[in-house]
Structure 1
């Protein structure tokens, strides 16, 4: 073996070790959900279920398949996001199964949620395999915006939208129901990124200055005003405070990241305050949410969900009652809106904080890939998708813990619901595609008219090697 080949061999060994570590993290993430499921069965029934080997093999096989797809098509993608997602998804499945065992006879919602998880993983794999360059959608900002807002307002169509617990956010087609806002958040993130990359110079440089802060011109307020009107329509006619806050907050944050001007978030916060105050005055739904937040014990029947969640987390304490040993079924909608309260009751405040840290780590890695990206569109898109998770988790867990008014958003990867599961797995696929583009080595090709140029090429071991150019193309 020549001395020149030693670095390449060493790099190959390091590369294989890194892949083995990534696989080990995926397997460790699988054990968290499986451990919760098995502990629930043992604590409630005194033994493990007879199907534990089949279920374990299926869950581990699905997770390893996702890892192999990423390793095959996106070898430079972030190695830590997928294990975090699998851990959250597994914990959510285990908690839904635990709540299924409370009624008599037991329910099987966890089985359906497992099916939705499989479909979400299939879409994740499809994005990883077929979406080679997300920048192709940059050419259609207005079309994506119209499609996103259309999906957002689709539940308002008579005969198609259905009302669930006072919120008109679902559509029903035959026996199937679907929440179109979950798909709308993906389309609108693409649309916002494309529009803001194209208009960021106008939005950033023009305007008037008030003290140290530069504010935008009135004629440049059209996009934010249009998004504000769309979110107010959602808030007023669909009674969905969470979705309105999510989409408007996403747009304002992406606008600030694109322009780096603090005047835009100030204007956005002012518009949000005006809209929230108007909604509080003229819509009963928002008044109930604010009353449940500030004075939950004044109306026990109306605020039963918030009160039960608070008592459950208090009973769990720091370390929790243990899997299967709490009473999360006393909280209404514990599988969907209040699954974080159920987690806090059975695994304690420490466990709930660990779950929040997993979400925070996904957001942090997403922002890191945005910093590493060399393309402005991909950079802004990564920021938008990362902030989508941050805003959604902050809104729902903040509502459950009474830090904020309850919004009714889903907890990503954990709450019961097929629409949310499929959409969030798709977002993770897009984020890993962006990460692959941002982290892969740059391949530089030297110009022939440079006397000292070299041709830099990437070999199979992912090592950049230098190869001198032929003498015929270089002058002495």
Structure 2
């Protein structure tokens, strides 16, 4: 008779209840938008609710079949964020006449289908460890693609990060954050001892050998190349932060954080003096309310209007559909947090931040529970990537840090970001399934009580 070390409940019914609540929140948000703007509940309204419900329940059913011990909270949280984002983008389309909501629905369907495929086809997350160096190669290729003539979409809002294939545009860097996380997790889990023990020691710092660190230097240079050639400050910060956090988690050495902060300070000062686009971002951030910067091209008008919108929302907000987001440039992507802050207020914005915090915390919990080093590092890296992306974009909107071109995960309009983040959800669910799955520790040669075996071993040891 098998004995189980731990007995975990699948908790899929809990997930189903939370999914119903998340879908209900999305439906209420859509209804509020229609009522506030004087629109009827037409066929599109019911179709959108049904589509999101079908996608969510399909994902839930696949988890019951392929990952029944997966975390029961992650999927409902993501559905709630994605559903609210669809409602806000639909609200912005009504006043602007755009069709971004239709495109977002198409990308949502594709992203959920991709996530379901990952759950169905990936039997064990540890398989990804075999593709450590392939992931590095893929990351480099993805980062180079926006610079290749013929498929490059050119400069968009000052950054060259998009490729264009026919009528479709895509941002390869969003997928690169996943492949880089896989590479970092695979390399660090295999070479942790070398990084800790080999190499020269300078003061309290233990440095690894150059040949052992070379692949990671290549990955770091690729992330720096994003800043130099693609002029994308946000993605560069994301990649460098991912690199530093994963190497710190692998080694548990604070010295890596200190080295990273020093490199960031030196690199920031150098970039400010060398690259005009970086200097412009910093100057706009520092002098946001200066009329000369408000009226300048790529100036601070967007940030200032976003701050006024947040102030107008106050504590409880103006209500969905009752704000003035039409004054904000690219309100459905870069500034969607400002729109939500105005119409849902500080309370609504804090609720969204709590959902993000819950998502990241469940990802970290999966990392703590899984039994292999690769899974731990991958779960931490993917969770931190979402957390850092939220910090960078929300910090930019609130003028805590300079505004960058990153999108708010699951909320903002952007197909490539939505696709990448849903794949992250699938990987975290697979890792959490492995972490919560019961362990069979029975075996014909393993005694139920190790104490007699220990006593016999001690008797056989000769006296000194």
TM-score between the two structures when normalised by the length of structure 1: 0.88
Partner of 2:160: 168
- 1:131 shift after superposition: 0.4
Cα distance in 2, alignment partners of residues 134 and 448 from structure 1: 29
Partner of 1:149: 140
Partner of 2:232: 240
Cα distance in 2, alignment partners of residues 215 and 452 from structure 1: 42
Larger RCO of the pair (alpha carbons < 8 Å, separation 6+)? 2
- 1:320 shift after superposition: 0.6
SS of the residue aligned with 1:408?
A: coil
Pick the structure with more strand per residue.
1
Cα distance in 1, alignment partners of residues 443 and 9 from structure 2: 27
> In 2, are the aligned partners of 1:292 and 1:306 still within 8 Å (CA)?
no
Cα distance in 2, alignment partners of residues 108 and 202 from structure 1: 53
- 1:19 shift after superposition: 3.4
2:265 pairs, out of 246, 249, 273, with 273
Cα distance in 1, alignment partners of residues 130 and 33 from structure 2: 50
What CA deviation, in whole Å up to 9, does each residue of 1:293-316 have, x standing for no partner?
A: 211011112211101100011101
2:100 pairs, out of 109, 114, 117, with 109
Partner of 1:195: 187
Partner of 1:73: 66
Cα distance in 1, alignment partners of residues 46 and 222 from structure 2: 49
Partner of 1:252: 244
Cα distance in 2, alignment partners of residues 432 and 115 from structure 1: 23
1:331 pairs, out of 322, 328, 332, with 328
**Root-mean-square deviation over aligned CA pairs:** 2.0
Partner of 2:294: 300
- 1:436 shift after superposition: 0.5
Which residues of structure 1 form unaligned runs of 5+?
A: 1-10, 454-476
1:390 lines up with 2:387 in the alignment: yes
Cα distance in 2, alignment partners of residues 50 and 423 from structure 1: 30
TM-score between the two structures when normalised by the length of structure 2: 0.90
Cα distance in 2, alignment partners of residues 451 and 65 from structure 1: 42
Partner of 1:36: 29
Cα distance in 1, alignment partners of residues 249 and 421 from structure 2: 22
1:371 pairs, out of 364, 368, 374, with 368
> In 1, are the aligned partners of 2:14 and 2:72 still within 8 Å (CA)?
no
Cα distance in 2, alignment partners of residues 449 and 253 from structure 1: 39
What CA deviation, in whole Å up to 9, does each residue of 1:397-431 have, x standing for no partner?
A: 11111111112101111111111111111110011
> In 1, are the aligned partners of 2:220 and 2:243 still within 8 Å (CA)?
no
Distance 1:446 1:225, change over 3 A: closer
Partner of 1:264: 256
Cα distance in 2, alignment partners of residues 367 and 70 from structure 1: 20
1:179 pairs, out of 171, 181, 184, with 171
Cα distance in 1, alignment partners of residues 216 and 65 from structure 2: 41
Cα distance in 2, alignment partners of residues 206 and 270 from structure 1: 22
What CA deviation, in whole Å up to 9, does each residue of 1:350-389 have, x standing for no partner?
A: 1111111111111111111111011111111111111111
Distance 1:345 1:452, change over 3 A: closer
Cα distance in 1, alignment partners of residues 445 and 386 from structure 2: 47
- 1:214 shift after superposition: 3.0
Partner of 1:140: 131
> In 2, are the aligned partners of 1:197 and 1:258 still within 8 Å (CA)?
yes
SS of the residue aligned with 1:67?
A: helix
- 1:64 shift after superposition: 1.4
Cα distance in 2, alignment partners of residues 306 and 384 from structure 1: 30
Aligned residues: 437
Cα distance in 2, alignment partners of residues 225 and 436 from structure 1: 33
Cα distance in 1, alignment partners of residues 51 and 221 from structure 2: 46
Partner of 1:340: 337
- 1:222 shift after superposition: 3.5
Distance 1:216 1:38, change over 3 A: same
Partner of 2:460: none
Cα distance in 2, alignment partners of residues 261 and 272 from structure 1: 18
Cα distance in 2, alignment partners of residues 382 and 15 from structure 1: 21
Comparing 60-69 with 73-82, greater Cα deviation is found at 60-69
- 1:227 shift after superposition: 3.3
What CA deviation, in whole Å up to 9, does each residue of 1:236-272 have, x standing for no partner?
A: 1111001111011101110010011111121122222
Partner of 2:458: none
- 1:139 shift after superposition: 2.2
- 1:98 shift after superposition: 0.6
